[in-house]
Structures are given as structure tokens and as C-alpha cells.
């Protein structure tokens, strides 16, 4: 099951489990659409992998399978590509 991290690792913006603006790599690093468009350009700054739209989890499924609450934010922000 996907971890569904709760925020963008670059800017810290909230990305709830049902967000359509969340992007992930194969390691589940999580970023928002804005950071991807402005600086990441589809590439994870952590592993170099492709960023793709994270599947949204329905509200009914979030009740028993909630998103993670552990926030990860890159201290120095994300590099530009």
C-alpha cells in the first residue's frame, strides 16, 4: 500500500491522501504539481526517478487506511533542473 506522504518535500505544502496535485517517484518521494512545474521538471531530486501523478485514495478508504502523518521537507528546498 502507498504511504501517501502528507506534504511536498520541496515547499511543505499539504497534500492530503485524496489530492490530485501530488506527484511521486518509485520510492514514494512526494512533491506538489507547482514545484514540479517550476523546478523539478518531472525528475525526483532525491533519486533521479520519474515523477508521476500519485493515485488518490477515496475518502471512504482513508478512514481505515489513512495517509501518513510524517512530514518530510528538504531543509534547503529543491534544486532547479
CATH number at residue 30: 3.30.40.10
Q: In this structure, are residues 7 and 72 in contact, taking their beta carbons and an 8 Å threshold? A: yes
Looking at the structure of the chain, the number of domains it has is: 1
- The confidence score (pLDDT) of residue 69 equals 92
Question: Cα 9 to chain center, whole Å?
Answer: 7
Residue 3 lies in a domain: yes
The verdict on pTM exceeding 0.85 is: yes
Question: What pLDDT score does 1 carry?
Answer: 84
Which domain covers residue 36, as residue numbers? Answer: 1-58
Let me know if residue 76 belongs to a domain: no
Residue 30 pairs in a beta bridge with 24
Task: Note down pLDDT in tens along the chain; length 81 residues.
Answer: 889 999 999 999 999 999 999 999 999 999 999 999 999 999 999 999 999 999 999 989 999 999 999 999 988 878 765
Q: In what order do the strands lie in the sheet with 30-32?
A: 30-32, 22-24, 52-53
Per-residue confidence (pLDDT) for residue 63, from 0 to 100: 92
Amino acid at each position: 500500500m502507498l504511504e501517501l506522504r502528507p506534504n511536498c518535500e520541496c515547499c511543505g505544502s499539504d497534500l492530503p491522501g485524496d489530492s490530485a496535485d501530488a506527484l511521486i517517484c518509485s520510492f514514494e518521494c512526494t512533491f506538489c504539481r507547482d514545484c514540479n512545474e517550476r523546478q523539478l521538471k518531472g525528475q525526483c531530486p532525491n533519486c533521479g526517478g520519474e515523477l508521476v501523478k500519485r493515485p488518490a485514495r477515496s475518502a471512504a478508504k482513508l478512514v481505515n487506511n489513512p495517509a501518513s502523518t510524517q512530514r518530510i521537507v528538504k531543509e534547503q528546498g529543491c534544486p532547479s533542473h
